[in-house]
A and B are shown apart, each in its own frame.
Chain A
Amino acid sequence: MKEKFTERIILIKALQGNKKAFGYIFDKYNKKIYRFIFFKVSKHEAAEDLTSQVFLKAWEYIINKNKIDNLQAFLYQVARNTVIDYYRSKEREELPLIYEDKDTVSQEKIVFLDRELDGKIDKEKLLKIINNLRGQYREVITLRYVEEYSINEISKILNKSKVNIRVMIHRALKDIKEMLTDQKNG
């Protein structure tokens, strides 16, 4: 509850050109947006570039005195659109990690790869699983289980009904299960 109010205050301040407000927004969202984009493009540098673009676009929007109801949802939407534009301009497909290019994800930069997981699934496999999911399913799964957003928040971010979101999550989990059994068998 309080966060909502804080954000509204920040937005108003940002509208007034308050630099600190912008700084606050960046600090809060840059990692999340980065992750969101990374899970789509699977490339570190690309993700970084696109993230800066997202924030620049957001700044423009705010500076032009446009009203933003939900900052979080807005930023994610901008991120989505930015990624779409990126693909259109690059005319590239999403590549799963195992086919990564040299100039893309370098393993040292991704911290988590060094850590041991408790479960039988290791990180590479995890990423592979996610990347193999359909675009929208990937979104809901990462937003739900990585960022741990509520169904309500996700529905606002993806601009879909809550029921829709739940169905997608369910289907995505089904797909993951199949993939896992396939991996086991195959």
Chain B
Amino acid sequence: MDRTVLKNLKELKKVEPDFEWSIKTKRYLLSQIKTAEISEATKFSDKLRIITLRLERKFIPSPVKMVAILMVFLMAGGTTLAAKAAIPGNPFYPIKTKIEKVELILVTSSKKEAKVHLKHAKNRIFEVEQLVKKDDSKKEENISKTVKSLQKDITAAQNSLEIAEKEKETSNNLVSVAIQLNQGTEEVLEVLNQTAQNVVSEETKQAVSEVAEVTDAVQDNATNLIVDKKEKGEVSDEVVTDDQVKEIVVKNITKIENQLKIVEEKVNQINQDQNAEQTIDPKNVEEISKKLGEAKLVLEEAKKLVEETSLSQVLEKVQESKEITKQTQKDIIKTEEEISKVQEEQQKPVENQQEIEIINPDNSTTSVVTSTALIQKPLIELGGVNNEQDPYLLEELNEEPAIEKTPTSIKE
């Protein structure tokens, strides 16, 4: 009963004055304003009040608008297009960095964290690509910084994946992240390769090669995880099929093969270098070549095994080959360093050529032009004559062992 009453009461809203009356009264009332005494000068303060009120009114959104705006922000993940495209040197770059930090905070699981780190790593390589194209004074510096950042992101991605494993994340999820990591590191390595060719300073080159190494290792780890879990039967075909895993392994093998080839080329270069022949112990070179051969063999074995046995065994072989290649690389670097040292020293004595007078047994003098380098080296083998003190002494000892004259007589 009550409700009907109340409902019907609303109907009473229809009670209104006469329309004609409204018009008449309005006209009359407005006419009254003219005749009334009104202050003519509009106060500035009033004007100001109106302006501020208007502005305030403009910016007060209705509740619906506020919710919509909030939702846009939440859904867009807080990124702006301008910030996304920013590279170091761009004023928007710090915003991008902050957005990335926020993205990490918002992450809820370790596997998601790994994905976000990978995403950031991809951002870094995008930035590096853009930086390489640019031509400004800070180019190398920025590339260096970005590449170091990249290293952090890649490492963090791996760490997150490892933590996810410890947290007993499902194998399906782990492997799907590992696959993304695999592909991502592939892209990273490609870009790093190109960058290394376009970079001038030693420092930057060093930074780039370091990151490449780290990325390489991360990729291998990801591959290992994929193979391991798939073989244990913990991964469904929806995530990755056996064939796809095989493909990944084959790619891995190809990668290591290429690394091997590069090392081989270097060895060949050394062998062909005539200067090097004189300075390097041939035994060293032989050993290096032997090792390389070994690495090659192991790799070939691995290739064969791809079709025959379990992929994890294949990976083991591949890893073996890789280790050998790495060691070879180190040996080569050492050898190269030696060569370059020798070459440096060989160039120096041209300036340091000296004319030395040798007093012959019959007291006649012979002048000989010689280089101190030839004199100096063997002396080192002799065990520690300080060649800085007396070049004539050296000369006596090395070239004319028959002359048994005291240093002072030669000094004349």
Chain A positions within 8 Å of B, measured between CB atoms, are 1-2, 5-6, 8-9, 12-13, 15-17, 19, 22-23, 26-27, 30-31, 34-35, 38-39, 44, 47-48, 51-52, 55-56, 59-60, 63, 65, 109-112, 115, 117-121, 123, 126-127, 129-130, 141-142, 145-148, 173, 176-177, 180
Partner of B57, one of A6, A38, A111: A6
Please count how many residues in chain B sit with their CB below 8 Å of the partner chain's CB atoms. Answer: 42
Residues of A within 8 Å of B1, CB to CB, are: 177, 180
State which residues 364-384 of B face A: CB under 8 Å: none
B1: min CB distance to chain A, Å: 6
Determine if B53 and A12 form an interchain contact, defined as CB atoms under 8 angstroms apart: yes
Residues of A within 8 Å of B34, CB to CB, are: 19
Determine if B38 and A63 form an interchain contact, defined as CB atoms under 8 angstroms apart: yes
The verdict on A121 contacting B26 (CB below 8 Å), with A13-B50, A34-B17 known, is no
Residues of A within 8 Å of B40, CB to CB, are: 17
The verdict on A115 contacting B2 (CB below 8 Å), with A6-B57, A9-B53, A59-B29 known, is no
B155: min CB distance to chain A, Å: 51
Determine if A22 and B30 form an interchain contact, defined as CB atoms under 8 angstroms apart: yes
Residues of A within 8 Å of B258, CB to CB, are: none
A54: min CB distance to chain B, Å: 10
Determine if A146 and B17 form an interchain contact, defined as CB atoms under 8 angstroms apart: no
Which candidate, B8-16, B265-273, B292-300, is the interface stretch facing chain A? B8-16
The verdict on A146 contacting B10 (CB below 8 Å), with A17-B38, A48-B18 known, is yes
B201 interfacial contact with A, CB 8 Å:
no
The verdict on A48 contacting B56 (CB below 8 Å), with A19-B33, A148-B10 known, is no
Residues of A within 8 Å of B11, CB to CB, are: 112, 115, 117, 123, 126
Give Cα distance in the complex from A141 to B6, angstroms. 9
The verdict on A5 contacting B53 (CB below 8 Å), with A12-B46, A119-B4 known, is yes
Determine if B53 and A111 form an interchain contact, defined as CB atoms under 8 angstroms apart: no
Interface string of B31-72 (1 = CB under 8 A from A): 011101111101000100110011011001010000000000
A selection of 27 A-B contacts at a CB cut-off of 8 Å is A2-B57, A5-B56, A12-B50, A13-B50, A15-B46, A17-B38, A17-B40, A19-B33, A27-B26, A31-B17, A39-B15, A52-B28, A55-B29, A59-B32, A59-B33, A59-B36, A110-B15, A112-B15, A118-B7, A120-B4, A121-B4, A121-B5, A123-B11, A126-B5, A126-B11, A142-B9, A142-B12
Give Cα distance in the complex from A145 to B49, angstroms. 36
The verdict on A31 contacting B16 (CB below 8 Å), with A48-B21, A123-B11, A129-B5 known, is yes
Give Cα distance in the complex from A127 to B57, angstroms. 40
Closest to B53 in A: A9
Determine if A38 and B32 form an interchain contact, defined as CB atoms under 8 angstroms apart: no
Determine if B6 and A145 form an interchain contact, defined as CB atoms under 8 angstroms apart: yes
B329: min CB distance to chain A, Å: 71
The verdict on A126 contacting B50 (CB below 8 Å), with A55-B29, A59-B36 known, is no
